[in-house]
Amino acid sequence: MDQPQQPRGNFVAFKNKSKQPGDRLPTFDGRLSIPEIEGEHSFALWAHEYTNPKTGEVQVMFNGKAGHFANNTPPMDQVLGLMKPDESPAAETAGLTLESRQIVLFPNGFKDEEPEKNRPDYWGAFSPGNGAPVVRISVWMRNDRYGNAMMQGATSYPIPGKSEAEMQDAAPTLEGLLEQGSVTKGMPARKRAGGREAR
């Protein structure tokens, strides 16, 4: 019997055009959505080298924060929200402790186990804050149409009782997510004068 399809949100990030070697600007700028919740959150990600405690290998991970408000938040709600401090407690998932609105992405240690499954290049999590549950992130690294680094993937909720590898195997590949419409191919469609979509 087929399992019901798990709800997914979008995750896409593009190399920061202003980033220069060695500066402190974020490596990627992007947007993500939370499964079954309308609106997207803008975010910035910084690349960091770290030593994998299990293998001793030096790898690249990403850490960043999403904006306080989704892009569909009414203006006065944004103003009122900025008038008081964010007192959301830290959240925990899969051995990670995340501050409010924090995003972390780690190299996927399960990717090379079974290459034919096309598991994500990176996995991680996002804590929306305000008591909302932490969401998982699955990301594939790609080049955009201009040859610049980008990330494409999806957010989803953790499945109780499943390991990270089992959750990855139960999820569609990037190609499957694109076919389902769960993930965008890149930049959102723009409207030209006259209401037609620019491609």
Residues 11 and 139: their CA atoms lie apart, in Å, by: 8
Which residue type, as a one-letter code, is found at position 124? G
Which of 48, 10, 60 minimizes the C-alpha distance to 30?
10
Which residue type, as a one-letter code, is found at position 113? E
Tens-binned pLDDT, residue by residue, of the chain (199 aa):
344 578 899 999 999 999 999 999 999 999 999 999 999 999 999 999 999 888 889 999 999 999 989 999 999 999 999 998 888 888 888 788 899 999 999 998 888 777 777 889 999 999 998 888 999 999 999 999 999 999 999 999 888 777 777 776 666 566 666 665 656 665 544 444 555 444 3
- pLDDT the model gives residue 173: 64
pTM here is 0.80
- pLDDT the model gives residue 60: 94
Which of 18, 25, 23 minimizes the C-alpha distance to 148?
18
The 10 Å Cβ neighbour count of residue 94 is 14
Contacts of residue 98, Cβ cutoff 8 Å, sequence gap at least 6: 90, 91, 92, 104, 125, 126, 127, 134
Residues 169 and 123: their CA atoms lie apart, in Å, by: 13
Which of 32, 34, 30, 62 minimizes the C-alpha distance to 44?
30
Domain boundaries defined on the chain: 9-185
